[in-house]
């Protein structure tokens, strides 16, 4: 008969490694999320009369219109 108190050989180490792996994945996911949030993109028209910057979520964070824009 199997002793249910002992569990599987190496089981505790496997669980510890699994928990460490999950924790590592969570930390990498948080870092990636923070990096994506920090991303922005800017563009301007050919003559530089209009410049716009948007965040990673698509929100306009900066809009510049030159005097020539009416």
Indicate the domain borders of the chain.
13-65
pTM comes to 0.56
The first and second tokens of residue 43, run together, are 């563009």
Alpha helices in the chain (DSSP H): 11-37
CA angle 40, 46, 52 (to 5 degrees): 25
The model's pLDDT over 13-47, given as tens digits with 9 standing for 90+, comes to 999 999 999 999 999 999 999 999 999 999 999 99
| Predicted pLDDT of residue 58 | 93
If pLDDT is split at 50, 70 and 90, which confidence band does 69 have? confident
Residue 51 · residue 63 · CB < 8 Å: yes
């Amino acid at each position: 008969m199997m002793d249910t108190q002992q569990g599987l050989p190496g089981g505790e180490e496997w669980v510890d490694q699994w928990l460490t792996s999950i924790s590592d994945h969570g930390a990498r996911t948080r870092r990636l999320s923070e990096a994506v949030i920090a991303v922005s993109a800017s563009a301007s028209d050919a003559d530089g009369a209009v410049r716009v910057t948007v965040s990673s979520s698509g929100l306009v964070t900066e809009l510049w219109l030159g005097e020539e824009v009416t």
